[in-house]
Amino acid sequence: MLENHWIAITCPKCQYTEYVRMISMKLQETVICHNCKANIKLIDQTASIYLAFQEVNNTLNSFKDIFKRS
């Protein structure tokens, strides 16, 4: 679910706002700016996207456990 959400990034070359899916950020793909055609390597230096995915999955698993006990 979360992987298909789109987020805005800014091209470092021309400052154009580009939209990428969160899964692209997680996989650290290279995207092409639609304005200047520059290659933009998506690098998550702090692993914030990866950690967010883990946190959401852990929360969902906790909910599953709560409902199983009910």
The number of distinct structural domains making up the chain is 1
Q: Which residues are within 8 A (CB) of 36 and not within 5 positions of it... i.e. 6 or more apart? A: 11, 13, 14, 16
Confidence of residue 70 (pLDDT cuts 50, 70, 90): low
Tell me the C-alpha distance between 61 and 53, whole Å.
12
Q: What are phi and psi of 20, to 5 degrees?
A: -130, 155
Tell me the C-alpha distance between 59 and 13, whole Å.
38
Average pLDDT, the chain: 89
| Domain span holding position 30 | 2-69
pTM over 0.85: no
